[in-house]
Chains A and B, each alone.
Chain A
Amino acid sequence: MTILYKEIHRFMRIWTQTLIPPAIMIMLYFVIFGTLIGKRIGQMGGFDYMQFMIPGLIMMSVISNSYSNVVSSFFGQKFARSIEELLITPLPHYLILLGWVLGGVARGLLVGAIVTIVSLWFYDLTVVNWTLSIFVLISTSILFSLGGFLNALFAESFDDISIVPTFIMQPLIYLGGVFYSIQLLPTFWQTVSLANPILYMINAFRYSILGSSDLESLGFSINSALFMIVGFIILLTSICLWSLNKGRGIRS
């Protein structure tokens, strides 16, 4: 609880760096891609372009904020050696991991909520399946918080914590169907896109909001996306705990 409290306190204290920029960025996306260009695009995947884009943008914000909260906070503590004040305590490793993951989820969901509120100014959104949308949001946020933790654990410099988000996550998010339906792509690139795990998360969330997504038309069920997310969570949790127990990146 202390780690979670501290994390929430931390990102709320610097709200101008953590909460406002995503809201402004998303607002610009809505203005430029939604209002100005969106009208010319017309329909996408059977929906207004703005309507199509909203679930993707919410998910993009949740993913990037969950990840960046954990990676920057944990690496910052490693860098300043304040992680030592945790390691000398009786806290078991799973609680250390849980504290940071919940911190990442808290920021991811808060930013997701802000983005949703902003999107309501631009489009009157209705949610088809609340339970599914909340499940996908939380599980994806957990997954990327775990990813951020793992990145921070192995990072040795500030460069190391920007490589994964810049060169791996951003391309996967942008090519994961935030702004377009992969049915627009040639068959070869559709097949390539199926190797992108973020595509399943964005489409599962889009399905929960709009009731339709690219997954069914490509022969995948929503359940397969959910299993994949849960599978990745189990895998990353195991790697994080194994690394913590081995002292990787935190003990000499």
Chain B
Amino acid sequence: MKALSISNLKKEYAGGLQALKGIDLDVEEGDFFALLGPNGAGKSTTIGIISSLVTKTSGQVKILDIDIDENHSLAKKKLGVVGQEVNFNQFEKVGDIIKNQAGYYGLSFKQARENAKHYMRKLDIWDKRDEQARKLSGGMKRRVMVAKALVNNPELLILDEPTAGVDIELRRSLWDFLTEINKAGTTIILTTHYLEEAERLCRNIAIIDSGEIVENTSMQELLTRLEVETFVFDLSKPLLKLPESSDFDMFLENPQKLKVTVGKGQGLNSIFEILSGLGIEISSMRNETGRLEELFLGLVDATLTEKKND
């Protein structure tokens, strides 16, 4: 079954801005799916339509085979959404915010209390349950948002940039938590600007740009399309002259930092052989940018060029 099925979805805002130009998108049940795109591409509009915050111009949206227009209530019961911005009353207590959200889903008071307790413990905010939300840090507020979205045990969870502006520790703990609930069966759709996050968590990916899906494939398939990768080598001793190689493009950023561009099919072993042969000692090595980031920029640039040519 498809957790989400979107067909020919269009949105034109008052003033004529076409935010979505008839997108089609399917997300399988149990998937961890990334929806990426630059700012203003249409990601939030798509999520807004799925969650009823934005009125669509035309098209169809189904959540677990339930049409949101035909059976709005049932479709919504299966959905949890973590918005981009904090959207709860910050003068309320954390525990009340989460319990009330359960109440909006029609859960009994007892069930609401149990679910709220479960997710507050899971997300490490149980100790904050009696505090006013406005007194929490940005990261803690994010956790409240996630607990709130999960309190009805949704089958489909949509997260719109859940880790924007949070520290790395929280980001990683959220990643672990999301992986855990995905393994337990919750389908997750994630939008993020941290491409490393999408690459690490998601199995399938769609890239949206200017209201159109420009790519929709598996993460693995997309990454195999990568033509070149740039690696950064930190050197043990300063290097005064750039090593010569006919196989690789090299660039010395500073005497102890060497950048090497590796093409598709070229092995890393040969770089190590060349550098070892020249007596260069490597202390560490890393990608210059995320692999997905390079592909993403390539795809978005390609759409931009096509538009300019048109």
A in complex with B: yes
Tell me the A residues contacting B by CB distance below 8 Å: 1-3, 5-6, 9, 77, 80-82, 84-92, 247, 251-252
**Which of B53, B72, B96, B103 contacts A251 (CB under 8 A)?**
B53
- B303 at the binding interface (Cβ < 8 Å): no
Known pairs A77-B89, A91-B104; list 10 more (Cβ under 8 Å): A80-B89, A85-B87, A85-B104, A88-B52, A88-B53, A88-B79, A90-B73, A92-B72, A247-B55, A252-B53
Q: Given A2-B104, A88-B81, are A81 and B87 also a contact pair (CB < 8 Å)?
A: yes
- Whole-angstrom distance from the CB of B196 to the nearest CB of chain A? 28
- B101 at the binding interface (Cβ < 8 Å): yes
Q: Establish whether residues B148 and A84, one from each chain, have CB atoms under 8 Å apart when the complex forms.
A: no
Q: Given A77-B89, A84-B87, A252-B55, are A90 and B103 also a contact pair (CB < 8 Å)?
A: no
The residues in B between 242 and 297 inclusive whose CB is less than 8 angstroms from any CB of A are: none
Give complex CA distance A39, B55 in Å.
61
Q: Which residues of chain A have C-beta atoms less than 8 A from B21's C-beta?
A: none
- B194 at the binding interface (Cβ < 8 Å): no
Q: Establish whether residues A6 and B72, one from each chain, have CB atoms under 8 Å apart when the complex forms.
A: no
Give complex CA distance A82, B145 in Å.
11
Tell me the B residues contacting A by CB distance below 8 Å: 13, 48, 51-55, 72-77, 79, 81, 83, 85, 87-90, 96, 100-101, 103-106, 148
Q: Establish whether residues B55 and A92, one from each chain, have CB atoms under 8 Å apart when the complex forms.
A: no
**Which of A1, A6, A84 contacts B83 (CB under 8 A)?**
A84
Q: Which residues of chain A have C-beta atoms less than 8 A from B89's C-beta?
A: 77, 80, 82
Q: Which residues of chain B have C-beta atoms less than 8 A from A87's C-beta?
A: 51-53
Most buried by B among A80, A88, A247: A88
Q: Given A88-B79, A251-B52, A252-B55, are A82 and B87 also a contact pair (CB < 8 Å)?
A: yes
- Pairs across A and B, CB under 8 Å, 14 listed: A1-B103, A3-B104, A5-B100, A80-B87, A80-B90, A82-B89, A88-B51, A88-B53, A88-B76, A89-B104, A90-B73, A92-B73, A251-B52, A251-B53
Q: Given A77-B89, A82-B89, A252-B48, are A2 and B72 also a contact pair (CB < 8 Å)?
A: no
Q: Which residues of chain B have C-beta atoms less than 8 A from A2's C-beta?
A: 100, 103-104
Q: Which 4 A-B pairs have CB atoms at the shortest separation, nearest pair first?
A: A2-B103, A90-B76, A90-B73, A89-B104
Give complex CA distance A84, B75 in Å.
17
Q: Given A80-B90, A81-B87, A251-B54, are A90 and B101 also a contact pair (CB < 8 Å)?
A: no
Beta-carbon nearest neighbor of B75 in chain A: A90
Give complex CA distance A77, B104 in Å.
15
Give complex CA distance A9, B104 in Å.
16
Beta-carbon nearest neighbor of A13 in chain B: B91
Q: Which residues of chain B have C-beta atoms less than 8 A from A252's C-beta?
A: 13, 48, 53-55
Q: Which residues of chain A have C-beta atoms less than 8 A from B48's C-beta?
A: 252
Q: Which residues of chain A have C-beta atoms less than 8 A from B104's C-beta?
A: 2-3, 85-86, 89-91
Give complex CA distance A9, B72 in Å.
29
Give complex CA distance A5, B13 in Å.
36
Give complex CA distance A160, B303 in Å.
43
Give complex CA distance A5, B77 in Å.
21
Give complex CA distance A82, B85 in Å.
10
Give complex CA distance A92, B106 in Å.
11
Q: Which residues of chain B have C-beta atoms less than 8 A from A89's C-beta?
A: 76, 101, 104-105
Give complex CA distance A2, B55 in Å.
26
- Whole-angstrom distance from the CB of A9 to the nearest CB of chain B? 8
Q: Establish whether residues B77 and A90, one from each chain, have CB atoms under 8 Å apart when the complex forms.
A: yes
- Whole-angstrom distance from the CB of A59 to the nearest CB of chain B? 31
Give complex CA distance A89, B54 in Å.
14
Give complex CA distance A85, B76 in Å.
12
Give complex CA distance A9, B103 in Å.
15
Q: Which residues of chain A have C-beta atoms less than 8 A from B72's C-beta?
A: 90, 92
- Whole-angstrom distance from the CB of A252 to the nearest CB of chain B? 5
Q: Which residues of chain B have C-beta atoms less than 8 A from A82's C-beta?
A: 87-89
Q: Which residues of chain B have C-beta atoms less than 8 A from A86's C-beta?
A: 104
Q: Which residues of chain B have C-beta atoms less than 8 A from A247's C-beta?
A: 55
Give complex CA distance A9, B28 in Å.
42
- Whole-angstrom distance from the CB of B73 to the nearest CB of chain A? 4
Q: Which residues of chain B have C-beta atoms less than 8 A from A9's C-beta?
A: 96
**Which of B55, B73, B79, B101 contacts A85 (CB under 8 A)?**
B101
Q: Given A87-B53, A91-B104, are A81 and B76 also a contact pair (CB < 8 Å)?
A: no
Q: Which residues of chain A have C-beta atoms less than 8 A from B53's C-beta?
A: 84, 87-88, 251-252
